[in-house]
Amino acid sequence: MNLRDHPYSAPGARAAQDLLDGIDGARTVLVATIDGFSLAVAQRQPLDADRLAALISSIGALGAAASRETGIGTPRCLVVESTQGRLVVRCVKAGMHELVVGVLTDTQALLGMVWAALAQCEKALLRA
């Protein structure tokens, strides 16, 4: 299947743009398959979407492994906090498809607002 034909390519593009527009401090938003293929990206700064897709899917897999090993349930959000920003990854199961949504922010973005926006994004993807 061509990724442009993936059932979540168009909804992912809308969700990515909505997140970028709705989160103060967001730099890049990417929707990817669980196996690391970019479906949609919206960005204010140029980044290699394919590399970021591989990275956020790996972070999602690490969260799944940690959750499984510790018995804490299904992972939802994972955060990488660094000196110049954050990368927040949300794991989304939409029907038969597992997706990851990554939001790269500056340090001024409010983490609670990012989490809330990602929860709304997940609901939108589930309705798609």
pLDDT tens digits, 59-83: 999 999 999 999 999 999 999 999 9
pLDDT tens digits, 23-41: 999 999 999 999 999 999 9
Domain ranges of the chain: 3-127
Q: What is the 3-state secondary structure (H, E, C) of 3-14?
A: HHHCCCHHHHHH
Q: Confidence band (pLDDT; 50, 70, 90) for 1?
A: very low
The SS3 of residue 110 is coil
pLDDT tens digits, 83-112: 999 999 999 988 888 999 999 999 999 999
Cα torsion 21, 80, 47, 111 to 10°: value is 10
CATH 1.10.3720.10 fits 3-127, yes or no: no
Calpha distance 51→1 (Å, rounded): 20
Q: What is the pTM of this model?
A: 0.92
Q: Output the pLDDT for position 63.
A: 95
